[in-house]
Structure 1
């Protein structure tokens, strides 16, 4: 668990399903990350996230407001094996999705800075990567605030994407 000024981050759990599903069926959230999900898609991703913790000892955290416990999203570092090659797939990938109600509040920056610090304290500093749709300007800006810089382009699921890296 990680606690920040306004947030509590816990490893993904099966009990997060309803909140995750509500977020993943929100078109505003899903516009740039694959479109609205079916409950089955959410379930598969949640199982992946839970399993990631068992396999690697880190992964995607569930974000909740410290005050009241409202679900605000998911963030973390993981290995998704996207088939992007050794310059990408061999490194921990920063990932985030925030519920609509959490947009524009700085929660993503707050949570992801804490996650990176937590990760590097346990694993040592190293290169991390992320993949962002260049049309998703808020996400690009968040990545840049975290220290990610573009290093390439790739086609992912039929869309041009920007590859970013964060160096120690």
Structure 2
């Protein structure tokens, strides 16, 4: 578990399903990533997140408001096995973040992602990390740049994508 001034980050648990499913069913939240998810799709993804931790000792953190325990979103690192062309070799861990509509514009994503990056560097020390962002997702592009990512290339992934890389 990680705590920041305003947030608690921890690996997902089954009890997080309702909040997670509501977030990924929100068209505003997923507008740059694909269609809203059904409950079944959200359930399978949540189980993937839980299992990933047990295999790789890192993954996606569920993010909560420390003051009231409200679920705000997620951030962390995974190998999503995306069908990106060209692939980077070796493929650095992929950073990701998604936050509820209610959490947008409050600095939670930066605070949480900064803490997750610090944790990843302390526990796994990757030489680099990457993130794949849709070109229209200006908020995520700004966040990536604030976190120290630089545009690396424009791979093909579900159409057009931008890949950012952050060297240690």
Class of the TM-score when normalised by the shorter of the 2 chains: over 0.9
Q: Which runs of 5+ in 2 are unaligned?
A: none
Q: Which runs of 5+ in 1 are unaligned?
A: none
In 2, are the aligned partners of 1:88 and 1:129 still within 8 Å (CA)? no
Shift of 1:155: 2.0
Q: What is the count of residue pairs matched by the alignment? A: 167
| Equivalent in the alignment of 2:106 | 105
Instruction: Extract structure 1 runs of 4+ deviating beyond 3 A.
Output: none
What TM-score comes out, normalization by structure 1 length? 0.95
Measure, in 2, the Cα distance between the counterparts of 1:125 and 1:77: 11
| Equivalent in the alignment of 1:11 | 11
| Equivalent in the alignment of 1:81 | 81
Shift of 1:13: 1.3
Measure, in 2, the Cα distance between the counterparts of 1:117 and 1:101: 25
CA RMSD, Structure 1 to Structure 2 (Å) = 1.2
What TM-score comes out, normalization by structure 2 length? 0.95
| Equivalent in the alignment of 1:52 | 52
Measure, in 2, the Cα distance between the counterparts of 1:7 and 1:72: 9
SS at match of 1:90: coil
Measure, in 1, the Cα distance between the counterparts of 2:122 and 2:48: 24
1:89/1:135 CA distance change after superposition, 3 Å: farther
Query: Does residue 40 of the first structure (1) align with residue 34 of the second (2)?
Result: no
Measure, in 2, the Cα distance between the counterparts of 1:152 and 1:46: 30
